[in-house]
């Protein structure tokens, strides 16, 4: 009991005070501070074109490789077998000429037939009129009159079998349909022949080549384009901003861009260029909506590369020469 009382007295005398807190101190200073919104997204060229073809013919020459720079309207990217396409064009031209010639022949034949039918009808009419008079005078039998009447009826039906206007036979619509079909095939063959040489549609850099010589132009693995050209002189970032933060983001805001390719501590600048007028699903089962937003990289000689993922820090608000604390 005495030991217990002694212990309590010692604890009360020596350990009843609060614990000591040690802190670092510093002088309050002025500096720069910013409120940022950080979002990751892919880096891509400002303009991109997938080169495709619907021509079922083999590629005979491929003149570019990944990394090559091309000039719009000048650089020949590839050539598709012109001999095969020329043969298809010649066949289509022959079919078209044959359809036109067939219409002319059938129309001319029908016109001659119509004119003969008119002559036969006139002759049958005169014969019927003459025999009607003769029958009335008793010079011919009723059988002869009926024969003349039948011949006239046959001549009328023969004329009625033709569709004519103003003495000219109207051609069968089927002939025009055949010509139109042949014309479309000829135009398609001419277009394919013209497109056998594919020229760069935009200036930029070839970033993907998904084919090789000997492969059919319209049969690329996994339905990929023949090749892709991107304008890498200017780069963009495509980010998805949450609907809960988009109210703080607007075009013209400064952006600090970082990526592993730039190295530790390095960054590049950009600005918010545009914000989509509509949102879309975030995905992953979330009910949150996100708004596609485009960032333009403003560095003239960017160290970024299209196709990589970078982090964009959007400067929502900033202050300079204001009191700041280290934490």
How far apart are alpha carbons 201 and 76 in whole angstroms? Answer: 10
Which whole number is the average pLDDT over 64-69? Answer: 92
Q: Taken in order 213, 217, 221, 225, is the CA torsion positive or negative?
A: positive
Using 50, 70 and 90 to split pLDDT, how confident is the model at 268?
very high
Gyration radius of the chain over CA positions: 44
Contact call for residues 183 and 95 (beta carbons, < 8 A)? no
Find out whether 277 and 306 touch, Cβ atoms under 8 Å: no
CA distances from 58 to 79, 81, 87, 172 (A): 9, 6, 14, 40
Task: Evaluate if residue 17 carries a pLDDT over 60.
Answer: no
Span 193-213, mean pLDDT?
90
Segment 211-218 mean pLDDT: 91
Give the pLDDT band of residue 326 (cuts 50, 70, 90).
confident
Is the per-residue pLDDT at 13 higher than 70? no
How far does the chain reach from its first CA to its final CA, in angstroms? 52
pLDDT tens by residue, 92-144 = 999 999 999 998 998 899 889 988 998 998 999 999 899 898 888 888 888 98
Reported confidence tier of residue 310, pLDDT bands at 50, 70, 90: very high
Model confidence band, residue 317 (pLDDT cutoffs 50, 70, 90) = very high
Q: What is the largest CA-CA distance in the chain?
A: 174
Q: How confident is the model at residue 18 (pLDDT cuts 50, 70, 90)?
A: low
- The mean per-residue pLDDT over the stretch 160-173 comes to 86
Q: Is 117 left (phi over 0), alpha (psi -120 to 50) or beta?
A: alpha
CA distance 285 to 273: 29
């Amino acid at each position: 009991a005495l030991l217990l009382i002694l212990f309590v007295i010692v604890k009360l005398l020596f350990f009843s005070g609060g614990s000591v807190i040690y802190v670092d101190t510093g002088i309050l200073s002025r500096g720069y501070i910013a409120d940022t919104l950080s979002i990751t997204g892919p880096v891509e060229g400002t303009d991109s074109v997938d080169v495709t073809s619907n021509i079922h013919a083999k590629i005979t020459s491929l003149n570019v490789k990944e990394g090559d720079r091309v000039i719009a309207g000048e650089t020949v990217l590839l050539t598709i077998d012109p001999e095969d396409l020329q043969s298809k064009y010649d066949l289509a031209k022959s079919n078209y000429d044959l359809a036109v010639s067939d219409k002319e022949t059938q129309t001319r034949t029908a016109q001659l037939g119509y004119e003969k039918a008119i002559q036969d009808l006139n002759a049958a009419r005169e014969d019927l009129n003459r025999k009607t008079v003769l029958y009335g005078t008793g010079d011919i039998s009723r059988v002869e009159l009926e024969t003349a009447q039948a011949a006239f009826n046959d001549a009328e039906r023969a004329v009625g079998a033709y569709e004519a206007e103003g003495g000219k036979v109207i051609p069968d619509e089927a002939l025009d349909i055949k010509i139109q079909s042949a014309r479309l095939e000829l135009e398609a063959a001419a277009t394919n022949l013209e497109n056998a040489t594919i020229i760069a549609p935009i200036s930029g850099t070839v970033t993907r080549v998904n084919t090789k010589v000997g492969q059919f132009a319209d049969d690329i693995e996994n339905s990929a384009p023949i090749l892709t050209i991107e304008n890498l002189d200017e780069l963009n970032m495509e980010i998805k901003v949450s609907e809960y933060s988009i109210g703080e983001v607007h075009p013209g805001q400064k952006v600090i861009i970082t990526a592993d390719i730039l190295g530790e501590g390095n960054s590049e600048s950009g600005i918010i260029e545009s914000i989509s007028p509509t949102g879309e699903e975030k995905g992953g089962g979330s009910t949150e909506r996100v708004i596609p937003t485009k960032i333009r990289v403003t560095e003239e000689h960017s160290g970024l590369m299209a196709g990589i993922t970078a982090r964009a820090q959007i400067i929502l608000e900033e202050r300079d020469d204001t009191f700041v604390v280290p934490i």
